[in-house]
């Protein structure tokens, strides 16, 4: 009995995490190929990507925002183009990709929350994300903002690491991942003040060199197609 108790004390958290990942996978992948939920946005995105792959009409603009005439960078289309190519233009492939990223978000939430807030917070947050009905439904569907939580959280993690360790790699990775987030949904732009403050923090520390200005390369890379258009 003592060995069982010691085992759960040592590995109980990992067992719960594995259970949460399994639950997340079952809820997200169950009947996912039925396409019983297929909206205009999904059809539009699949059609655009079909034109890219079949007709070689590569886009410089991404999805249109709710603001008339404003478009996001096209990297979401580039991402799902690879997915649709692998699935031979089957639109269910994008749903599977979205669900896969949704499952990956569970251990990422656990990892980041554990490092910042402690183990109870990490496990609790991962369990909520794994089984929340609204989150499950959204991460089962191919829509450009549905993979945003994973990439935003990853960019936050590297921002946190930068403030902890002051490493150039973390600074540049945070801006690179955030640049990709800007092409997923307009809502990501509301987080720009955080990253602007991070840059300003580095700048006032006297790092007036490629470390401080390297973020321009990350940002320009993802915005360059839209600027080119």
Q: What is the mean pLDDT of residues 205-228?
A: 59
**In the listed set 112, 141, 170, which residue is the last one of a domain according to the structure?**
141
Q: pTM (2 decimals)?
A: 0.85
Check whether residue 110 and residue 161 sit in a common domain: no
In a domain, 10, yes or no: yes
In a domain, 155, yes or no: yes
Question: Residues 134, 151: one domain?
Answer: no
Average pLDDT of the residues in 130-145: 89
Q: Which domain holds residue 134?
A: 1-29+92-141
Rounded CA separation 212/200 (Å): 8
Task: Tell me, yes or no, whether 173 lies in a domain.
Answer: yes
Same domain for 1 and 110? yes
111 shares its domain with 159: no
| 225 and 122 within one domain | no
181 or 208: whose pLDDT is higher? 181
Q: Retrieve residue 219's tokens.
A: 């940002």
Same domain, residue pair 137 and 214: no
Q: What is the pLDDT of residues 148-192, one digit of tens each?
A: 999 999 999 998 898 888 787 888 888 888 888 888 887 777 777
Q: Which residue has the higher pLDDT, 226 or 209?
A: 226
Residues 154 and 198 placed together within one structural domain of the fold: yes
The answer on pLDDT for 6 being more than 70 is no
Task: Assign 217 a pLDDT band (cuts: 50, 70, 90).
Answer: low
Same-domain check for residues 190 and 173: yes
Tell me the two tokens of residue 104: 């990956």
Verify that 133 and 161 share a domain, yes or no: no
- Domain assignment present for 82: no
37 inside domain: no
Do 152 and 137 have their domain in common?
no
164 occurs within a structural domain: yes
Contact 112, 30 (CB under 8 A): no
User: For the chain, what is the domain count?
Assistant: 2
């Amino acid at each position: 009995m003592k060995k069982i108790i010691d085992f759960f004390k040592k590995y109980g958290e990992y067992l719960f995490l594995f259970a949460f990942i399994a639950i997340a996978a079952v809820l997200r992948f169950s009947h996912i190929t039925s396409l019983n939920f297929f909206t205009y946005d999904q059809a539009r995105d699949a059609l655009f990507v079909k034109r890219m792959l079949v007709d070689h009409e590569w886009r410089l603009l991404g999805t249109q925002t709710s603001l008339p005439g404003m478009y996001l960078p096209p990297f979401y289309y580039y991402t799902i183009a690879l997915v649709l190519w692998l699935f031979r233009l089957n639109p269910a492939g994008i749903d599977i990709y979205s669900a896969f990223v949704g499952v990956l978000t569970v251990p990422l939430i656990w990892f980041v929350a554990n490092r910042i807030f402690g183990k109870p917070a990490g496990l609790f947050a991962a369990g909520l994300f794994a089984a929340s009905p609204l989150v499950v439904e959204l991460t089962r569907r191919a829509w450009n903002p549905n993979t945003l939580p994973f990439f935003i959280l990853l960019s936050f993690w590297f921002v946190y690491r930068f403030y902890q360790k002051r490493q150039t790699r973390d600074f540049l990775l945070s801006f690179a991942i955030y640049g990709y987030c800007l092409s997923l949904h307009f809502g990501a732009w509301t987080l720009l003040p955080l990253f602007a403050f991070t840059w300003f923090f580095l700048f006032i520390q006297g790092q007036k060199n490629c470390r401080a200005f390297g973020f321009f390369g990350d940002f320009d890379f993802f915005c360059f197609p839209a600027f080119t258009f």
